[in-house]
Amino acid sequence: MGTIRSAPLEVTGHRSDLGRWRAAQRPADRRLRDYVLGYFASEGFLPKPLDERHVPSLGVAIVLNFAAPHRIIDPADPKRTTEHRSAWVVALQHRHQLREAVGARDFMVVRFSPIGAQMLLQTPMDLLTDRVLALEEIDRPFARLLTAHAEAAHHWAARFDIVEEIIAERLESAANPPSALLHSWQMLQKAPNRFDLARLPSEFGCSRRHLIAQFHTYFGMAPKTIARIRRFNLAVEAINRVGRRDPLSYPDGKPYLDFQAAGAVCTATKAAIRWADLALDCGYYDQSHFINEFRSFSGLTPLEFLHRTRQE
């Protein structure tokens, strides 16, 4: 592939009663972007627990952690938690995840397209769907190689560079995915509401059953489910823009702070949002369809989501 050309880091910071943290992000080298979506890192200290709401996206994450364990809460039973300490994989999810963040924080996230994750991990993605697995359970030598080199780096840019070099080398030796799948993925990203599965088998010379089986292997989900998640992500992006003069760039996969004790939404906020228009613009049949789909993926209605995550 040749020398990786590093893009500049985008760095942000925060300090308040909630705690302090700095974060950096960078896109992947342009030659990797069908497979690697980008890199994110954060370090800081949180004196008291903060709730994070992770909503479904079409990215698969590998998390490398260098400080306190990350705690995942079972949405169905908040008393049930699991901890992850070193390196783990978060595949595509059908519903939101809740996590508790507290103490020293120092971690890095590499975000892949599902096809990129399948090529890197050499594992059928439907075996990972709705799961959070230690990277060592999937590939122990690779997990140790990646974590050792990332830990040895002394700053974010160097850490991003060495991790990207390792990933690029591994992807270069992997078999190329079927062209039909890569084309389908690009179509779903650009226009999920106009994606026509019925036409694809004839276009790419395979049966419908075979194409759906490949979706499960390379993505972990059926095409219609992927289109639903993409439509949901478009709705979340639209909600993030509500009431902001300078809309924030909020990448898919980044968690939202969840303020569960928040009070009632002000009347002005309610009046400013044309929910029916927003639903139609994002490809939903009507407002009821929009609310049901949004609650299915996020655990909240759109209005609840707006208020509980809008506490800047």
pLDDT at 184: 82
Q: How confident is the model at residue 202 (pLDDT cuts 50, 70, 90)?
A: low
pLDDT confidence tier of residue 221, bands split at 50, 70 and 90: very high
Strand partners, 307: none
Q: What is the pTM of this model?
A: 0.90
Provide the pLDDT confidence category of residue 268 given band limits of 50, 70 and 90: very low
Task: Please give the helix or strand (H or E) that residue 70 lies within, else none.
Answer: strand 70-74
List pLDDT tens digits, range 279-306: 998 989 899 999 999 999 999 999 999 8
SS3 80: strand
- Provide mean pLDDT across the span 84-90: 96
DSSP state of 245: S
Using a pLDDT cut of 70, give the percent of the chain over it. 88
User: Helices (H) and strands (E) in the chain — how many of each?
Assistant: 12, 10
Q: What is the torsion angle, in degrees rounded to the nearest 10, for the CA atoms of residue 210, residue 213, residue 215 and residue 217?
A: -130
Summary mean pLDDT of the chain: 88
Give the pLDDT confidence of 139-159 residue by residue, as tens digits.
999 999 999 999 999 899 999
Q: What is the pLDDT of residues 62-76, one digit of tens each?
A: 999 999 999 999 877
Extract the tokens encoding 211.
Answer: 């194409």
User: Which residues in 25-45 are b (16+ Cβ under 10 Å) and which e?
Assistant: bbbbbeebebbbbbbbbbbbe
Distance CA 199, CA 232 (A): 24
